[in-house]
Amino acid sequence: MDRTRKANREGHEVTLQYRTPNETLHEAQLIEDELSQLQAAVGQLEQTAPGIEELQRRIKLFGECNRLADESSAQFCDRLRVWLQRVLPPKKSPRHPPRQNE
C-alpha cells in the first residue's frame, strides 16, 4: 500500500473543503436571510385564527421552538425549518357526527 497516495488524497480533500472568507460571509448572509424568512412566516401565521390554531397544535405536539443561548443561526434555522415542515397528524373526528334536531 502506498502511504503517500493516501496522504496526498487527504491533503486534497482538506484543500477542496477550504472556504474563502468571502464565501463564508456569503453563506452566513444566506442563512440569516432564510432565518428571517422563516420567522416572518411564523409571524404571518400568528396574524390569523387558523394560523394561531396550527401554531398551538405544533407547540402541543412538538414543543416550543425557541432559540437556545449557545445555538448558532444555522442550527436554529435548521431546527425551525424542521419544526415548521413536520406533518401534523390529522385531528380526531367524532365517531358519530352530532345530530341535527329540527
Contact 76, 35 (CB under 8 A): yes
Average pLDDT, integer, range 35-54:
93
Q: What is the pLDDT of residues 75-87, one digit of tens each?
A: 999 999 999 999 9
pLDDT value at position 26? Answer: 85
pLDDT value at position 4? Answer: 63
Residue 70 one-letter amino acid: D
Q: How many CB atoms lie within 10 A of CB 58?
A: 18
- Judged against a pLDDT cut of 90, whether residue 20 lies above it is answered with no
pTM for the full predicted model: 0.67
Higher pLDDT, 64 or 96: 64
